[in-house]
Amino acid sequence: MEDKNLDILLKKRTEEIKKSREESDQKDDIETQDVLEDTKDQKVCVEEETVTQTIKSINKVQRKSVFWKLLALVLIIGINVMWMMNINLKSAIKDLELEVLSLLDGGKSFTYLNQEIPAENLIHIDNRILVDVDFVIEYIDNNIHYSNSGTRVYIPLESIEYTLETKEVTDYVKANIVDINIPILVKNDRNYIDFEVFKKLYNLEVITATDGSFAIYNQTYSQLRSVSSDIEFVKTSHGLTVVSDEISEIITAIVLDTHEDMSKIITENGRIGYVNTDNLEPYNLEMMQNQLNTVRPEHDYGDNINMTWSQISAYKNNPDLSLDQTIPGLDAISPTWFRLNINGIMLNEADFRYVKSAGDKGYEVWGLFSNDFKPSWTSEMLNDPVYRKKTIAQIAFFASLYDLDGVNIDFENMYLTDKDIFTQFMAELSPILEAQNVTLSIAVTIPGGSDQWSKVYDRENIAKHVDYMMLMAYDEFWGSSPTSGPVASIPWVEKSLKETLEMVPSEKLILGIPLYMRIWKETGGSVSSKAIGIKHLEEVLSDKDYELSYDEDNFLNYISYREDGNLHRIWVEDESSLEKRMALKNKYNLQGIGTWSKEFVEFETWEFLDELLD
């Protein structure tokens, strides 16, 4: 309320009081009236004085309130000014800091043992770290050389200090091989090999940073340091601000460069930036023995082994298993990675990434070693003790290098005269793999066939040296058969099983099951065929006018249709045939099943097989 209005109200109220008093006092006598008048005057004076004091107090409070309000306003403005000045100062300092570091920072760093190297010498692609072959030959080991075909490199082992699972295995390998081959992957017209090879054989490590920088080093690298994970890094012009870890730990760091009291580093978890040099500690060197692998734990597959082969023709065709759905109930997968060449050489198409992804999905990896269906090369290797031991040593080395859980031998099309020496080869291989605790299995055809494809196996004696024998109970009518027929009729499979069980214990026998069928084309008196997987049948029949029936002699569904005037026949592999094959596995108490091959079916078929095994 305004002071002027307050005074008017108070005066008005005083006049009303005075008038009321006068009217009341007129009834009294003059003497009493004089007394009362005196009293009244006193009261009016008191009341007027009280009102005046009240007005003064109000005015005083109002003046103080305005003073404190003004003071608060001044303080608020001052604080805000100081706050804004502080923000601007911090921003200016940070900008200056970034400008200074930007001048110090030469951009991304790519080094090998403190030597600057081109960025393309190391690439990340498809969940692999690949290193350029020419860089490897120039910087890491100039004894490494290309193969004659240029599709792989050979790495000499004589100058590399390594140990395998046991001294026995190590001594055997070192006495019988001088080098091993590694496949090449071509990217952007450059040749690369998996960096994992050099981690295992040369004790090299690589740290890659968030900005794409990398440093290749070994345990004795002079710029290797330790740093606490809660040390705050300065943000570089292209880096990121470090978030301190809740729990401090000592981590490895590579010093890339030093500017006075600041060092540019890459940490083992990929952070890059500048840190006070005083925060870096000497690296406590713990030289690790270069042991490629350790003896594997005991295998326990239970009574129903579920394994499948995976057909991989070249290193570049290795799929990224991490992208696949996990196959339910699958115990082991056997990629076709190794094949025999001249002079006892085992050509290698193996993939570290594949092994890791398989392990992540719970599969064991049984690398397949074949003779590439070459009887002359096989005979040369088997009958020359030097080549035979060389092949066995390579199998053991690759099993160790790639951490294989098992080895599957698939030697087919051999000379009948090599029957006994092949059995000896298996007998010599067995104790080496047993020392590594690597599962040894072999794939064999059904008894009673041709000399080179069936009679060459001494099944009874071979069974003594292996953990499992896979009976490839398919190709009853093979691709170039002169007549059409099923891949594997049920009566033919049962007959083959009975004959095999006369030589091989049931607890070692695994039933091979086809996941494919053949489309037979009959033209006049000639017959031709092509194989298709179970998953492709529906697509093949989508535009055909076909007839479906049941072949009571072969216990299989049967399809026929005409196209371009030619008769086409298909003895179908489907859920019905899989059920019948699984029934035979159970009837003869076999150890499990092996399917050829993984690429022929969709996920639903794996679910169905898992239900049958359960």
Q: What CATH code would you report for 306-514+574-613?
A: 3.20.20.80
Q: Is the dihedral of CA 444, 449, 452, 455 positive or negative?
A: positive
> Helical H runs in 509-602?
537-541, 575-587
How confident is the model at residue 85, as a pLDDT?
Answer: 62
- 251/263 Cα distance (integer angstroms): 16
> Do 562 and 521 contact (CB within 8 A), yes or no?
no
The candidate with the shortest Cα–Cα distance to 557, out of 567, 544, 547, is 547
Range with lowest mean pLDDT among 34-38, 200-204, 233-237: 34-38
Going by C-beta distance under 8 Å and a sequence separation of 6 or more, which residues neighbour residue 431?
A: none
Phi, psi of 385 (to 5 degrees): -55, -35
Helices 575-587, 603-613: crossing angle, 10 deg rounding: 30
The separation between the first and the last C-alpha atoms of the chain, rounded to the nearest angstrom, is 93
Work out the widest C-alpha separation in the chain, in whole angstroms: 164
Q: In the structure, what pLDDT confidence band is assigned to residue 53 with cuts at 50, 70 and 90?
A: low
Helices 375-383, 419-436: crossing angle, 10 deg rounding: 70
Q: Where are the domains of the chain?
A: 3-103, 110-282, 306-514+574-613
pLDDT tens figures, 353-386: 999 999 999 999 999 999 999 999 999 999 999 9
Going by C-beta distance under 8 Å and a sequence separation of 6 or more, which residues neighbour residue 610?
A: 306, 327, 328, 329
- Judging by beta carbons within 10 Å of its beta carbon (0-12, 13-18, 19+), is residue 437 exposed, middle or buried? middle
Going by C-beta distance under 8 Å and a sequence separation of 6 or more, which residues neighbour residue 432?
A: 168, 169, 172, 392, 395, 396
Tokens read off for 348: 């290698």
> Do 205 and 216 contact (CB within 8 A), yes or no?
yes
pLDDT, greater one: 264 or 351 = 351
pLDDT tens figures, 99-136: 555 555 667 889 999 899 999 999 999 899 999 999 99
Per-residue pLDDT, averaged over 246-265, amounts to 85
How confident is the model at residue 52, as a pLDDT?
Answer: 57
> Do 511 and 587 contact (CB within 8 A), yes or no?
no
Half-sphere exposure of 422 (CA within 13 A, CB side): 28
pLDDT tens figures, 476-485: 999 999 999 9
Q: Give Cα 7 to chain centroid, integer Å.
A: 89
- Residue whose token pair is 């076709």: 336
- 45/49 Cα distance (integer angstroms): 6
DSSP line for 237-261: SSS-PPPPPSS--EEEEEEEEEETT
pLDDT tens figures, 493-508: 999 999 999 999 999 9
Q: Residue 513: helix, strand or coil by DSSP? A: strand
Q: Give Cα 83 to chain centroid, integer Å.
A: 49
Going by C-beta distance under 8 Å and a sequence separation of 6 or more, which residues neighbour residue 464?
A: none
The candidate with the shortest Cα–Cα distance to 185, out of 199, 200, 195, is 195
- 386/139 Cα distance (integer angstroms): 33
Q: Does 456 have pLDDT greater than 80?
A: yes
- Judging by beta carbons within 10 Å of its beta carbon (0-12, 13-18, 19+), is residue 51 exposed, middle or buried? middle
How confident is the model at residue 524, as a pLDDT?
Answer: 86
Tokens read off for 143: 């004894």
Average pLDDT, rounded, for the chain:
87
CA angle 78, 81, 85 (to 5 degrees): 140
How confident is the model at residue 273, as a pLDDT?
Answer: 83
Half-sphere exposure of 299 (CA within 13 A, CB side): 23
Q: Give Cα 604 to chain centroid, integer Å.
A: 24
Half-sphere exposure of 528 (CA within 13 A, CB side): 4
Helices 167-176, 419-436: crossing angle, 10 deg rounding: 130
Q: Is the dihedral of CA 479, 481, 482, 485 positive or negative?
A: negative
pLDDT tens figures, 303-347: 899 999 999 999 999 999 999 999 999 999 999 999 999 999 999
Q: Does 1 have pLDDT greater than 50?
A: no
pLDDT tens figures, 149-161: 999 999 999 989 9
